[in-house]
Amino acid sequence: GAVVSQHPSRVICKSGTSVKIECRSLDFQATTMFWYRQFPKKSLMLMATSNEGSKATYEQGVEKDKFLINHASLTLSTLTVTSAHPEDSSFYICSASQDWGYGYTFGSGTRLTVV
Amino acid sequence: AQKVTQAQTEISVVEKEDVTLDCVYETRDTTYYLFWYKQPPSGELVFLIRRNSFDEQNEISGRYSWNFQKSTSSFNFTITASQVVDSAVYFCALSEARDKLVFGAGTILRVKS
């Protein structure tokens, strides 16, 4: 079946630094990738939708300059948290879609802690 | 805009009890997909089922079953003879018109031995 690999699974960084999270579709080409954020004991909130070769579409309230998304190829999307602050600490999960009817495959998530 | 409501925040049952997780959705589209995911403590999302809006057949997979009723906009999930390993957060989600996947708030299921 479709597999999405997300790295790193855990990262601790200092306040003010940037962190990059990678999301790769291993055995299929993902025309669309999604990035979600999940706070403890909360649901998954969509941050942005990215299509290969075009700019990401951000959800209302998500800072584009803080959460940079790049979808450079049909198998790779990256989320960079720039100038991270403790309030950016969260669980980030990516998802890839081959085609709408095929459903969505999720990565295993990245737990970001900013100290 | 699409919306998914999971009114049950947390459910506790004793092992071997049956449990039903409710999901009510809102959409203006006639074509859409509904999903259920399981999220164990480790955090990864485990896909359980996908159902399109034209297929109202109920489905059974082992101890899991799903009841899809368009008349009440509901897509409920039942676990029969629950086990401790079923303890997790369960999310219902909706996707319409080749758009994003929107999640409900989730239901925490605790199965006690």
Tokens of residue A54, six digits: 């075009």
- C-alpha A48/C-alpha B56 separation (Å) is 31
pLDDT on residue A25: 92
Rounded to an integer, the average pLDDT of A16-33 is 92
Rounded to an integer, the average pLDDT of B87-95 is 96
Residue range B28-85, pLDDT digits in tens: 988 899 999 999 998 999 999 989 898 888 888 899 999 999 999 999 999 999 999 9
Asked if pLDDT for residue A103 goes beyond 80, the answer is: no
Classify residue B14 as exposed, middle or buried by CB count within 10 Å of its CB (0-12, 13-18, 19+).
exposed
Contact residues on chain B for A105, CB-CB shorter than 8 A: 47
A58 touches chain B (CB under 8 A): no
CB-hemisphere CA count at 13 Å for A65?
Answer: 1
Least confident of A22-26, A79-83, B47-51: B47-51
Is B43–A109 a contact, with Cβ atoms under 8 angstroms apart?
Answer: yes
Contact residues on chain A for B52, CB-CB shorter than 8 A: 101
Is A104–B35 a contact, with Cβ atoms under 8 angstroms apart?
Answer: yes
Query: How far away is chain A from the Cα of B32, in angstroms, using its nearest Cα?
Result: 9
Rounded to an integer, the average pLDDT of B5-9 is 96
pLDDT on residue B97: 67
CB-hemisphere CA count at 13 Å for B69?
Answer: 9
Higher pLDDT, B67 or A2: B67
Rounded to an integer, the average pLDDT of B100-113 is 94
Is A108–B44 a contact, with Cβ atoms under 8 angstroms apart?
Answer: yes
